[in-house]
Chain A
Amino acid sequence: MNDEPHAEELLRAVERFLERDVVPNLQGVPRFHARVAANVVAMVAREIETEAEHQAGEWERLGALLDEAGALPDGREARRQALRARNATLVDRIRAGAADGGEVRRRVLAHLRRTVDDKMAVSRPPRQRE
């Protein structure tokens, strides 16, 4: 285990530095880019804080929807691949018309709503921050 500060704490230090010390001292395009950099760094900090929970939730919901058993694998790339595979199956089912109506559509919409809400909690567009 790495020593403190944790990764997200270090990123918040970078965010603060950019917001307080860099942005006010720049003008025009570089100022805009410094602000984008601060937003990106904060986004990554939020992703680190929520990723495990968001991925576990998405994995379980997809398993229930697709009627697939199995645990989310260990390892960053393996988790991404496993989620990508279940999402690809969901895309195939949607394309085949399985979510065009009825109870399945209701459940798919509820799942997608939750997934998009999670993504938005991480990306948090500027307007939601104000």
Chain B
Amino acid sequence: MALAAVRVEGLCRLAGGASREIWAFGAEIDGPGGTRVYDLVMRRDPPGRDDEGSRDLEFRVVRAAGEAGVPVPQVHWCCTDPAVLGTTFYVMDRVDGEALPRRLLRDARYEKTRAVLTGQLGAILARIHAVDPDQPALAGLSDATAGTVSSALAEIDRVSEGIRGLAAEPHPTLTLAERWLRARAPEGSRRALVHGDYRVGNVLFDEDGARAILDWELCKIGDPVEDLGWLCARPWRFGSPLPVGGVGTREALVDAYVAAGGAPVDPAHLRFWEAMASYKVALVWIQQSWVYRSGRVPSLELAALGRRTAEEEQALLDLMEEQA
């Protein structure tokens, strides 16, 4: 393909990916058998935000996940030469599908998807966690299990420092949650490839179910139960009583996960990571409010998000009262 003529058509930036640019384009490639057209997607850091080849690592993780049977867009190549597009980028197939959770929950056409998605997400997660995180192709992954403190405790330290540093008002509910989390932080855990942002908003789906798992930029080596807890967390339920993205139960998720080869999950361990998710999201809302109040970004949307902190506090009270 090196000498083939390539024509790029219909280049357009896609919505989403606030911290990464995502561009769709068609590529016509002349070859011995004639011209072929490829629907492709290019993902790159915005210029000036290239964090040391992280796109290259993400490319290698997506490729390894695909080889392990995880549904992901097939990735083609990664270019680290800044002379080409300014920052590192990689190119993958464009997968058709919907990614908006509200459509998943409301549209009649996704009725079957709602019924099968929980089981699919459990089985897919078992495959992600079966990827060998120490294979040479994944060199450079951050390892949350490497420190002297457990990864969970290190995460609680990071989030509580963030809250203390940025919140303008005292948050007794978050302080109580911090102590609850510290008392329940798992000491050790299995080591696995962790997606790091495994939620319905990062699943591309169609009328038959999940098509691809997207947004691997937060992947790391860590406690696999973290992905299960994150998937069950309150912010991605959109008002539904069902914890798994508003479409399924924890039991159905864990059953599918274990049936597909995932290690058995202790419900208390899962509840810890689910609470951890709400605790982390509370910090995100506090950060957004701080960014607005500091005058850095005069955005109405950021201003409004600060008041969402109460939702995570409510979720944390629910979890603390379930298991006092």
Chain A residues with CB under 8 Å of chain B are 32-33, 36-37, 39-40, 43, 84, 87-88, 90-91, 94-95, 97, 99-100, 105, 108-109, 112-113, 115-117, 119-120, 122-123, 125, 127-128, 130
Contacts and interface: CB of A to CB of B under 8 A. Distances in A.
A128 B314 CA distance: 13
Interface string B172-194: 11011001000100000000000
Contacts of A109: 176, 317, 320-321, 324
B169 A87 contact: yes
Given A40-B303, A97-B179, 9 more contacts: A87-B169, A90-B170, A100-B183, A108-B172, A112-B173, A112-B176, A112-B317, A123-B307, A123-B311
A92 B171 CA distance: 11
Contact of B170 (A36, A87, A122): A87
A87 B317 contact: no
Contact of B176 (A84, A87, A88, A99): A99
A94 B160 CA distance: 14
Contacts of B320: 109
B139 interface: no
Given A84-B169, A123-B308, A113 B324 contact: no
Nearest to B240: A127
Contacts of B308: 123, 125
A94 B307 contact: no
A91 B301 contact: no
B116 interface: no
B268 interface: no
Given A90-B170, A94-B176, A116-B313, A33 B239 contact: no
A116 B308 CA distance: 11
A40 B304 contact: yes
Q: Which of A32, A100, A123 has the most CB of B within 10 A?
A: A123
B300 interface: yes
Contacts of A123: 307-308, 310-311
Which 3 residue pairs across A and B have the least CB separation, nearest first? A127-B239, A119-B310, A87-B170
Contacts of A95: 175, 179
B238 interface: yes
Contacts of B311: 120, 123, 125
A90 B172 contact: yes
Contacts of B301: 32-33, 36
A110 B175 CA distance: 15
Contacts of B171: 91
Nearest to B312: A116
Contacts of A33: 300-301
